[in-house]
Amino acid sequence: MNDNKKNSGIVDLIFLAVAYLVTIAAVFSTYYVHTESGIQIGAVSDRKYIANATTENVRETEKLRQAAMDAVGPVYVTDNDVMPRVLKELEDYFGLIENLRAEYNADEDMTLLSSYGEITSHKSITLTQTELKTLAELSVSEFSAFENEVTQLVTNVLESGVSDVDEALLKIKEDMYLSSIDNSLVGVSYDIVSGALENNVYIDEEATNAAKKAAADEVSPVLIQKNQKIIDENEIITEEAYYALEACGFIRDMDYGANLLPFGGKCILITIMFIGLLLYFLNFNRKRILGGNEGLLLFALYISLILLSFAASGLDYIFVPILGFLIIITLLLSTGIALIFIPIVTSVTMLVTGGDVGYFLYFIVSGHIMVLMICATKERGRAILNGFIASIAGGIIMLGIQILEGKPLRLMTFGQAALTAFITFIYVIIAVGSLPMWESVFGIVSDLRLSELINPNKTLIKRLMLEAPGTYHHSLLLANMAETAAYEIGANPILARVGAYYHDIGKLSNPGYFTENIANESPHDFMDPYTSARIIKEHISEGLELGKRYRLPAPIMNIIYEHHGTGLIKFFYYKAKNNKKSTREVREEDFRYPCRIPTSKEAAIIMIADTTEAAVRSLRSNNNEEQLKNLDGFIKNIIDEKMADGQLNDSGLTIKDIEIIHKTLLDTLKGMYHNRIAYPDDDKTDNADNADNTDKNENNTDNTGNTKNTKNTKNNDRK
């Protein structure tokens, strides 16, 4: 037994380690593997991509902002000191020319004039001797008109602003031909202006940058809305689609250094959750889950959920099958385990799929509602109905989350809520419909299946009622006792109840050979003890045959096989030993059941309750009032004998469990077999009849197999 526990513990650790590694691998793949393959510009998309959250398309936003900045022209500033300075220079230069004109004598050489050298070396204005001679030969009125026209042209262009002298000169040259300046003087005037003109408008870099920034800030971010289709299957991946996929997280940089920190953070969170899960099972659910088919089922379901979540990472999160996982866990394992797993699987799959706050809120709230609705069901039809109600609640939750995210109340918003309810209900149907498959593969029976087996219209139950009424009555009493005890120690009450109903179906082969069905003489009085023991033992093998024929679940078959363990059939064993006429060696193994000792709490409870109920019934039929008064010690002796005989070694019961079972059976039997008060009557015969009828009614239970207020009786006794 210890080796089995040690081996099962190793298997549990292997399961947990594999689940942990698969989770880490799935998270790792979302960063480095899954989103890289097949997504290239110009390639064909292998599937439809839908944004799983509202995301900014940073690349498109930056493009629009750059365009807005490019549209902003430079901001110019005017230097107001330039125009007075240029005009003063022109004025001074024309003054020099006036001096030259006063000295000019057509017969003399220009080089001898005193003003010539000063004019030719004047700053940036340079005129040739020919141009100076042309100006010197002008009449006073012609020269005055020329001076005024050139000055006006420069004034006009400076007032307009000169940021590029060359462009301004081209404009002035065009204006000169349109002005009153003689064409022969255009060249002279151009040379004067080109030498004097300066830029008076400059670009203000600081103001320009501020204007560009203001324009960029006015651009609203380009958003990819949640559930927006980015690209469909078999479409060519354009540059725009590629960068939209990148923005939504479907493509990530293979920069291991940059991604290492967030990936490490996720690994830390996953590690803490797995440690917490292990501590939960070690401290609260060790016997129920660890080391059994339940652990294997939980492992298989978890791995399936992670893989399906990974595959659905590009879809809306309502397609992640968390609710289906929780439904199966609730129906096949327990509500407590399902509730523990809600935050764990929600957090883990959120890390795998890249979910947001809405993802977490939806599955936390809807998960609790689904589990609490499903756990209250005892029939498949009712489970579907409750699942439908929970699906409607899921749609309402989705509507609330969308409002919380700032979505307007439009048709699309309500459509998303309706789609959520529909998808959730599909998962309900799939989960409930797949229960037989999980039960068959992992040898686990759901409470729904067990509840169906209690139906009095079931063939075996009907046969017990008609062919072996004493056994049926015994099974009903035992069901009440076993269910109450299982409930008190945290075992499966409904499994204990159903197991009690079917534990003795093998007696249908020879019902008249069992005490509860014998009305008068016992056939065993005329048989040797070996034959009697063989017939008694055969009800186990006969029960297994009937169980196979009617396809009873494995846990019920185990109870049929284990409820006597390898116990000794004491009555016939001692009958054989006390037979003075027989010379045959009496061996104990000939009078032991050739079965297996209980391997579950439920089977052990039924073993103890079965022996106890039969023994108490025997005491009552033999009017053994002394032992009935000491019922507490009587039950304790029965349990001690089972323990001493090693029948409870593999059951998983603790000393505390056994104490609770002892007390529960004592309270239940007191409620079943407590003494009745005598009703006064003049007719003593009637009194005796009434007392006898009352005693008989006490031993009857409802033919539907329902428990008859066991807990209320117990509470009344305590009071």
DSSP string computed for 217-264: HTSPPPEE-TT-EEE-TT-B--HHHHHHHHHTTSS----HHHHHHHHH
* Res 355: pLDDT: 78
- Two tokens, residue 416: 């998303």
Q: Mean pLDDT throughout 73-92?
A: 87
- Two tokens, residue 339: 């509730």
- Structure-token match 């002008």, residue found: 138
Say yes or no: 378 and 468 in one domain: no
* Res 233: pLDDT: 66
* Res 290: pLDDT: 47
DSSP annotation of 126 reads: -
Say yes or no: 396 and 516 in one domain: no
Domain boundary among 392, 419, 439: 439
Say yes or no: 414 and 494 in one domain: no
Reduced to 3 states (helix: H, G, I; strand: E, B; else coil), residue 23 is helix
Say yes or no: 99 and 181 in one domain: yes
More confident residue, 50 or 613: 613
Give CA–CA dist 355/246, Å, rounded. Answer: 16
Q: Mean pLDDT throughout 172-193?
A: 82
Are 710 and 484 spatial neighbours (Cβ–Cβ below 8 Å)? yes
- Quick check: 357 pLDDT over 70? yes
Residue 71 lies in a domain: no
The full DSSP string for 254-318 is --HHHHHHHHHHHHHHHHHHHHHHHHHHHHHSTTTTTTSHHHHHHHHHHHHHHHHHHHTTTS-GG
Give CA–CA dist 328/481, Å, rounded. Answer: 29
- Taking the CA atoms of residue 357, residue 363, residue 369 and residue 371 in that order, the dihedral angle to the nearest 10 degrees is -150
Say yes or no: 306 and 198 in one domain: no
* Res 598: pLDDT: 94
Closest C-alpha among 50, 62, 47 to residue 354: 50
Domain boundary among 439, 474, 491: 439
More confident residue, 475 or 678: 475
Q: Mean pLDDT throughout 254-277?
A: 74
- Quick check: 254 pLDDT over 80? no
* Res 285: pLDDT: 55
Percent with pLDDT over 90 in the chain: 27
- Quick check: 677 pLDDT over 50? no
| Full residue range of the structural domain in which residue 150 is found | 76-203
* Res 1: pLDDT: 42
Residue 225 lies in a domain: no
- Two tokens, residue 394: 């899921």
* Res 630: pLDDT: 76
Residue 24, Cβ density class (10 Å: 0-12 exposed, 13-18 middle, ≥19 buried): middle
Lowest mean pLDDT of 10-14, 475-479, 484-488, 663-667, name the range: 10-14
Q: Mean pLDDT throughout 535-562?
A: 92
More confident residue, 43 or 320: 320
Say yes or no: 455 and 401 in one domain: no
- Two tokens, residue 268: 């830390």
Give CA–CA dist 336/330, Å, rounded. Answer: 8
Domain boundary among 439, 469, 484: 439
The 10s digit of each residue's pLDDT in 340-356 is 999 999 999 988 887 77
Q: Mean pLDDT throughout 472-482?
A: 93
**What's the structural domain count of the chain?**
3
Closest C-alpha among 76, 75, 78 to residue 212: 75
More confident residue, 260 or 436: 436
Give CA–CA dist 466/475, Å, rounded. Answer: 14
Reduced to 3 states (helix: H, G, I; strand: E, B; else coil), residue 229 is strand
Residue 12 lies in a domain: no
- Two tokens, residue 311: 């595959």
Question: Inter-axis angle of helices 357-374 and 335-353, to 10 degrees?
Answer: 160
- Quick check: 250 pLDDT over 60? yes
Residue 223 lies in a domain: no
The 10s digit of each residue's pLDDT in 591-614 is 999 999 999 999 999 999 999 988
Reduced to 3 states (helix: H, G, I; strand: E, B; else coil), residue 528 is coil
- Structure-token match 């000794």, residue found: 568
Residue 50 lies in a domain: no
Say yes or no: 672 and 563 in one domain: yes
- Quick check: 676 pLDDT over 80? no
The 10s digit of each residue's pLDDT in 97-148 is 888 788 775 545 555 455 565 566 566 777 777 887 888 888 888 888 888 9
Residue 40, Cβ density class (10 Å: 0-12 exposed, 13-18 middle, ≥19 buried): exposed
Q: Dmax over Cα atoms in the chain, in whole Å?
A: 182
* Res 172: pLDDT: 84
Say yes or no: 514 and 537 in one domain: yes
Say yes or no: 707 and 625 in one domain: yes
Say yes or no: 614 and 708 in one domain: yes
Residue 617 lies in a domain: yes
Say yes or no: 390 and 525 in one domain: no
Say yes or no: 710 and 630 in one domain: yes
More confident residue, 618 or 560: 560
pLDDT band of 517, cuts 50, 70, 90: confident
Residue 218 lies in a domain: no
Residue 55 lies in a domain: no
Side-chain-facing half-sphere of 24: CA atoms under 13 Å: 16
Give CA–CA dist 358/227, Å, rounded. Answer: 13
* Res 697: pLDDT: 35
- Reading phi first (left if > 0) and then psi (alpha if -120 to 50, else beta), residue 553 is in beta
* Res 184: pLDDT: 80
CA 507 to chain centre: 49
